[in-house]
Amino acid sequence: MSKPTADATDRPDVISRTGPRRSESARLAVLHAADDLLVERGFAELTIEGIAQRAGVAKQTIYRWWKSKVDILLDTLADDAREALQWRTPESDTEAEEDLKAHLRRVAGFFQDPAGQVLQALVGHAQLDGKTARALRDGFLREQRERDIAGLRALLTRSPHVTVGDQAVGRLVDLLFGPLYYRALVLGEPIDEEVVEATARAVLTLARESAA
Amino acid sequence: MSKPTADATDRPDVISRTGPRRSESARLAVLHAADDLLVERGFAELTIEGIAQRAGVAKQTIYRWWKSKVDILLDTLADDAREALQWRTPESDTEAEEDLKAHLRRVAGFFQDPAGQVLQALVGHAQLDGKTARALRDGFLREQRERDIAGLRALLTRSPHVTVGDQAVGRLVDLLFGPLYYRALVLGEPIDEEVVEATARAVLTLARESAA
Amino acid sequence: MSKPTADATDRPDVISRTGPRRSESARLAVLHAADDLLVERGFAELTIEGIAQRAGVAKQTIYRWWKSKVDILLDTLADDAREALQWRTPESDTEAEEDLKAHLRRVAGFFQDPAGQVLQALVGHAQLDGKTARALRDGFLREQRERDIAGLRALLTRSPHVTVGDQAVGRLVDLLFGPLYYRALVLGEPIDEEVVEATARAVLTLARESAA
Amino acid sequence: MSKPTADATDRPDVISRTGPRRSESARLAVLHAADDLLVERGFAELTIEGIAQRAGVAKQTIYRWWKSKVDILLDTLADDAREALQWRTPESDTEAEEDLKAHLRRVAGFFQDPAGQVLQALVGHAQLDGKTARALRDGFLREQRERDIAGLRALLTRSPHVTVGDQAVGRLVDLLFGPLYYRALVLGEPIDEEVVEATARAVLTLARESAA
DNA sequence: GGCTAACCGAGACGGTACGTCAAGTCTTGGC
DNA sequence: GCCAAGACTTGACGTACCGTCTCGGTTAGCC
């Protein structure tokens, strides 16, 4: 969500209500209010005025730091999603397929999280508004894709002992996440174990085949 | 919602300004205005008042027949998208893979069409609004998925001579369209030949494997 | 800005809440609310939103018909002030001086009226804003001055039997109303009988002298 | 409110940016900025923030020393207006009427001056706001009226050799300045020679008459 | 000669009202 | 009974200033 208040020892904890420096408490209040309201009422009913009221903050304070509700949600996303969608390096030597499936399950779970709903809303709104699309792509998706490509390549290199080019990994990433997003965004249906299994097996099969 | 175009062949274009029966010219004017404005300005700037003005129609006339702008767009979708996303039966005995790739290319092209943009906008808006989600699923997506399942099964039965259960075909459909929607909606990047090829091959490979 | 209620015969009196014609009840509610609030709280605290709330009317309904609160007050003025500042023709043959003093007393009293406070506020605001100045001059003061010149000339012609040119009457009107406005606007002090008497006598003396 | 320019002759102009004593340069910068902005843009567009920016001064520095923009303008008025509206004692033995007319001409000219515009704005704003009215009356107008009464009495005593009571002089002052303020504030028209002449003659005539 | 108290610039903060936009409802009058 | 026209209430938009409140950096004058 945003950097923690610094790691203590001697936090003042006295919230200086105002001053010439940005108020961290106001920033967090806005971020949390936005997140809560999105989950409670949905993106369509999310308004700047509602966020301001919920956060106990003046509207102008929001407009001073964010351009729109999309901008706020992008901030919300920044910390949370990055972590939730992170590729874990396996602790012991497990099967590659199991690791992949575990990652997919984590991604599937993410769509139920508040942070997942934020991303879902932003991807939705990106269809309707070019600026949102650009901001989302530049501010999150591009980097996420790079992390996904690196993560998948690392996994493939490890166990099936295949080496694939960047472009080829890109296509495998499409194959890997496409079905998940498709079910979540388009069909609005849950991503169950079978989907996870089929998708993981498909990607690994293709990887081995294209290595041959 | 509104009656289908009906007697076709010849659009009336005769403006019967009013009367005790629904004006077909008003209906078409609204549909075309909505379509045009969506393509010209995007969903975010699409307003009922704007449509009314562009169509030369009173706002009330719109509210009498449609519940929202989403409702109007669903109407414009109905005829166009169904046809564009239809599975063609091969004219001669071509390879299944070629047929599949041809279909994917058609779907990829559809995303550039006006009708494709309408669907894209509606899927986007469905992330933000539950009613839209339900209307879109009930009014279009569910049936489209049935057509897709049937289409893919027919293709698989024909050439790789495999028979797969309904559930399995469902998962293959996810694998087939997932990457396309993922690239279009999430990444906002074009669906090039490589993606088409990789996806088609993945699906056929998996189909053969799961038949074994 | 808006025509008076017209003189009835068959007023509907049924308040049609809305429709394609301007709502007379809304118009009157706004005018009265503005008048009341001005008297109660003063011009500085008079806000469009406050008027709207008090009148039980939407803000947009005010903006549809008036450009600003000044515009509303000008409407308020139109009917009331014209009448209050009207020159009465004497019923019987009284002294010119008595008639003049009677008129000044009426004007002095006007400054205590709601309508008088409206005029006072508008004249005040005209010092601060060019547009208000122009609107007030064009919409009320110019015509009022013409009525004043005509009224004073008629009075002078009647009893002191003097005839004076237009320009000379203009200067006499300055002499006549100047002290009243000066006391009301600049000094903020009451216009007592002595002021009325001194002013009336000064004007009549000057009139006789300049006729000689 | 703020101390007068004090030691004069030489304006400091040395910018002592800060310190434990009130900064004279900041005080003057605010006063000049307010004056300039009033003349350039008018009272309505005059804001504390605008003055602060123009003066290169922090908002808080203004609020520390003045209560409102009216308070600032009263300060700018203090020195300038008192002098401009001062009654001159005739150098040689001229006619009383000439002296009176000369004074009126000076007052008329004052309304064109920056200082005159400040007074005009303050009188205007006093109609809209009770506090301003009180501050203006207490801080300037009451004393000015005393000076005017003394000035007129001195003039009358000199030449027409009439002696009039305080109350009577008060009424003559109303007659004298009323028409000027009336033309300037209410009609917004210039005070030409004819007005000056008619007013001066009216006052002298009345003075002689009431002395009889 | 160091300390401290008041000043200064900068500017963030909670507010109030602004004037605009579109939504969705309702009514009139014509065909 | 449908239609064009458009007035109405509602609610959010994004902006402008208000007056209050730190913050960190001077600098004068007292110890």
pLDDT digits (tens, 9 = 90+) for B137-148: 999 999 999 999
* H/E segment holding residue A77: helix A69-84
Q: What is the pLDDT of residue D10?
A: 34
Asked whether the beta carbons of residue A182 and residue B174 sit closer than 8 angstroms, the reply is yes
Contacts of D128 in chain C (CB under 8 A): 42-44, 121, 124-125
Tokens of A108: 């599937």
Amino acid A33 CA to nucleotide E15 C1' distance, rounded Å: 19
Same domain, A90 and A60: no
Q: Give the distance between the most distant pair of CA atoms in chain C.
A: 65
Same domain, A134 and A157: yes
At CB < 8 Å, which residues of chain D contact C? 42-44, 120-121, 123-130, 133, 137, 141, 145, 167, 171-172, 174-175, 177-183, 185-188, 194-195, 198-199, 201-202, 205-206, 209
Contacts 24+ apart (CB under 8 A), C152-157: C152/C87, C152/C176, C152/C203, C154/C87, C154/C89, C155/C87, C155/C96, C155/C99, C155/C100, C156/C96, C156/C207
CA distances, B73 to each of A13, B28, B47 (Å): 52, 12, 12
Tokens 């790079």, located at residue: A146
Q: What is the pLDDT of residue B11?
A: 33
Nucleotide of closest approach to D25 (CA, C1'):
E8
Highest mean pLDDT among C11-20, C91-100, C159-168: C91-100
For B160-172, what is each residue's pLDDT tens digit? 667 778 888 999 9
Q: Is residue C110 part of a domain?
A: yes
**CB burial of residue B166 (10 Å; 0-12, 13-18, 19+):** exposed
Q: What is the pLDDT of residue C95?
A: 85
Amino acid letter, residue B157: T
Mean pLDDT of chain C: 89
Same domain, D62 and D103: no
Q: What are phi and psi of A105, to 5 degrees?
A: -60, -40
pLDDT band at C16 (very low <50, low <70, confident <90, very high): low
Which of D66, D99, D117 is where one domain is finished?
Answer: D66
Which of D31, D66, D101 is where one domain is finished?
Answer: D66
Instruction: Specify whether the CB–CB gap between C144 and C85 falls below 8 A.
Output: yes
Same domain, A165 and A183: yes
Q: What is the pLDDT of residue A130?
A: 94
pLDDT-wise least confident of A192-201, C85-94, C122-131, D121-130: C85-94
Amino acid letter, residue A86: Q
CB contact set of C99 (below 8 Å; sequence gap of 6+): C88, C90, C155, C159
Q: What is the pLDDT of residue C182?
A: 98
Q: What are phi and psi of A148, to 5 degrees?
A: -65, -40
Strand F atom within 7 Å of A182 CB: no
Segments forming the whole domain that contains residue B177: 74-211
Dump the DSSP string for D20-56.
SS--HHHHHHHHHHHHHHHHHH-GGG--HHHHHHHHT
What's the mean pLDDT in D169-198? 96
What's the mean pLDDT in B49-75? 96
Which of D66, D100, D117 is where one domain is finished?
Answer: D66
**What proportion of chain C, given as a percentage, has pLDDT over 90?**
75
Same domain, D26 and D111: no
| pLDDT of A193 higher than 90 | yes
Same domain, D193 and D90: yes
What's the mean pLDDT in A29-48? 97
Contacts of B126 in chain A (CB under 8 A): 124, 188
CATH code, domain with A101: 1.10.357.10
| pLDDT of D133 higher than 90 | yes
Ranges assigned E (strand) in A138-181:
none
Strand F atom within 7 Å of B59 CB: yes
What residue in A sits closest to B194 (Cα-Cα)?
A171
Nearest to A171 among B129, B175, B194 (CB): B194
Q: Provide the 10 A C-beta neighbour count for residue A41.
A: 12
Q: What is the pLDDT of residue C17?
A: 62
Q: Is the CA virtual torsion A72, A78, A83, A84 positive or negative?
A: positive
- Residue C159 CA to residue C165 CA, distance in Å, equals 16
Same domain, B104 and B13: no
Residue B166: alpha-carbon gap to chain centroid: 22
Residues 66-85 of A with CB under 7 A from strand F: 68-69
- Residue D34 CA to residue D55 CA, distance in Å, equals 8
Q: Is residue D153 part of a domain?
A: yes
| pLDDT of B95 higher than 90 | no
Tokens of D4: 């007068």
pLDDT band at D7 (very low <50, low <70, confident <90, very high): very low
Q: What is the pLDDT of residue B212?
A: 64
Give the end-to-end CA distance of chain D in Å, rounded to a whole number: 47
For A81-112, what is each residue's pLDDT tens digit? 999 999 998 776 778 899 999 999 999 999 99
Q: For chain C, what is the domain count?
A: 2
Contacts 24+ apart (CB under 8 A), B9-15: none
**What proportion of chain B, given as a percentage, has pLDDT over 70?**
88
3-state SS track over B20-34: CCCCHHHHHHHHHHH
Q: What are the b/e assignments for B46-81, b being 16+ CB within 10 Å?
A: bebeebbebbebeeebbeebbebbbbbbbbbbbebb
Mean pLDDT of chain D: 89
Residue A212: alpha-carbon gap to chain centroid: 34
Q: What is the pLDDT of residue D2?
A: 43
Q: What is the pLDDT of residue B35?
A: 95
What's the mean pLDDT in C31-45? 97
pLDDT band at A11 (very low <50, low <70, confident <90, very high): very low
CA distances, A123 to each of A111, A114, A118, B38 (Å): 12, 14, 9, 18
Instruction: Specify whether the CB–CB gap between C64 and C30 falls below 8 A.
Output: no
Same domain, A62 and A108: no
For D137-174, what is each residue's pLDDT tens digit? 999 999 999 999 999 999 998 866 677 888 899 999 99
Same domain, A9 and A85: no
Same domain, B126 and B172: yes
| D212: DSSP letter | -
| pLDDT of C144 higher than 80 | yes
Helix spans in chain B (H): 24-41, 48-55, 59-65, 69-84, 96-110, 114-128, 130-136, 142-158, 166-181, 193-211
Same domain, A146 and A77: yes
Same domain, B203 and B128: yes
